[in-house]
Amino acid sequence: MTLTRRRVLAAIAAAGGAGALTGSTSGALLRNSETLGASLTTGLVDIVVEYWQDASTVDPENPDGVVDGPRLDIPVGTVDEDSPGSTLLRIALPQDEGPNNPASVWLRTECPERVTLAEFLTVRLFYSDASGARGDEIVSGSLRQVADALRTGVRLDGDPATDGDDCLTDEVFVLVEYELGAYIGSESVSLPLFVVGTQCRNADPSVNPFPADATGAACEPAYTCECCWDIGKVEVPDRDENFEAGRLYPFDEGLAGYAIEVVAADGDSGVAFELVATDGGPVLPLCSVLVKGGSGDSLIYSRPENGEYDFDTSVLTGATDDGIIYAPENPNNGKRYGISHVVVGVCTPLLPEGGCPEDVATTSKDGSRGSRSKTDEGGETK
């Protein structure tokens, strides 16, 4: 039986939620959660940030909001897989009392909440003009990657139309685009933004004004592995066939839209592969892989606790340097069985009530493997 991702995730949501894998929409906020420290007061100049929540319908005379100073709170509405969004920022020097001193403008952020949405929400920052048109790219990637790139502070070009990094004398526009893609969930996440301007005449404009201790550690991946959720089984097509390197094998049972891409094989008894999404959906890191061979024997290769997160079998304990995992040995002759099928498990958080999602793949045609709250030791015979 093959289940669609949307159907399975809706069932999980009805049961109470499964962290990164629940619901049907996701909320994203760009906001500021704290003010800058007093150590940044010397040499600062006043700047004003205005924003338009929808960059496709910009009225230059009527921004949706105005922020006076380094605190930046920009609400961004709910996004879904069919509705990418964009926000336009105008960063300007106040001119109410005559020309302001040229300023070196710096932008930084902080690591987002450690939720899986931070891995799947794509964020792109561009220089722009008053119409919201794209200019040169500043940074792009997942929300976490963008936050990590900006975490220590980056200087904005006060005049992107010229070469080099210029001081700001009037205004500069920054376009923020965000896109959910095929992610299905109900999480929310935020990207705190800090904007500060320093005087160009009385200070070195290339000196980062943000204190080193304000940036914190690098943004870690947001995955958790409290549960091993079996999402798919792939059977060897025929008794006379083996897994072949370079081939894509969709799940025979489990979630639709997923497959394993074989990267190496050792005869009929060993295989190395990467978990991939065939429909552009999210991919969660491997937790374990069960390798079945013979009449009833199998081996489970598991990701070590506190190990790195990855999507191929090289992350599993007991795999070779090439990521190859094997079927168990035949006790009668000491040789390994040929692989009959593999069952793929991925990392997920616990459900709110403390349980794990129900597996949607089985170890054999007549038996379920059952949900596990902890991974089994790699290489044990089951």
Q: Which of 103, 289, 54 lies closest to 202 in space, CA to CA?
A: 103
Residue 289: the pLDDT is 97
Close Cβ partners of 342 (under 8 Å, ≥ 6 residues apart): 233, 234, 260, 271, 273, 289, 290, 291, 292
Residue 264: the pLDDT is 97
C-alpha to C-alpha distance for 377 and 1, rounded to whole angstroms: 28
Mean pLDDT of 191-219: 81
| Out of 77-81, 147-151, 290-294, least confident range | 77-81
C-alpha to C-alpha distance for 79 and 82, rounded to whole angstroms: 8
Q: Does residue 3 register a pLDDT over 80?
A: no
Q: Does residue 199 register a pLDDT over 60?
A: yes
Residue 73: the pLDDT is 53
Beta carbons within 10 angstroms of residue 189's beta carbon: 23
The overall longest dimension of the chain from CA atoms, in Å, is 91
The angle subtended at Cα 127 by Cα 121 and Cα 128, nearest 5°, is 105
Total residues found in the chain within this entry: 382
Query: Which amino acid makes up residue 65?
Result: G
pLDDT band at 25 (very low <50, low <70, confident <90, very high): very low
Coil, strand or helix at 5: helix
Per-residue CA distances from 366 to 228, 231, 253, 362, 363 (Å): 21, 17, 13, 8, 8
Share of the chain above pLDDT 70, in %: 73
Residue 365: the pLDDT is 37
- Which two structure tokens, joined as six digits, stand for 99? 């020309």
pLDDT band at 11 (very low <50, low <70, confident <90, very high): very low
Contacts made by residues 95-98, CB under 8 angstroms, sequence distance 24+: 95/170
What's the DSSP call for residue 30? B
pLDDT band at 164 (very low <50, low <70, confident <90, very high): confident
**Residue 68: Cβ-neighbour burial (10 angstroms; 0-12, 13-18, 19+):** exposed
Helix (H) or strand (E) holding 9: helix 5-15
Residue 368: the pLDDT is 39
Do residues 150 and 71 lie in contact, with contact meaning Cβ atoms separated by under 8 Å? Answer: no
Q: State the virtual CA torsion across 89, 32, 348, 218 in degrees, nearest 10.
A: 90
Which tens digit of pLDDT belongs to each residue from 257-307? 899 999 999 999 999 999 998 886 668 899 999 999 987 789 999 999 888
C-alpha to C-alpha distance for 336 and 319, rounded to whole angstroms: 15
Query: Which amino acid makes up residue 155?
Result: R
C-alpha to C-alpha distance for 40 and 249, rounded to whole angstroms: 56
Give start and end residues of each alpha helix (H) in 32-174.
Answer: 117-120, 143-150
pLDDT band at 131 (very low <50, low <70, confident <90, very high): very high
Q: Which of 270, 159, 287 lies closest to 232 in space, CA to CA?
A: 287
Mean pLDDT of 315-329: 95
Helix (H) or strand (E) holding 178: strand 171-179
Query: Which amino acid makes up residue 51?
Result: Y
What's phi and psi for 187, nearest 5 deg?
-75, 165
What's the DSSP call for residue 322? T
Mean pLDDT of 66-87: 64
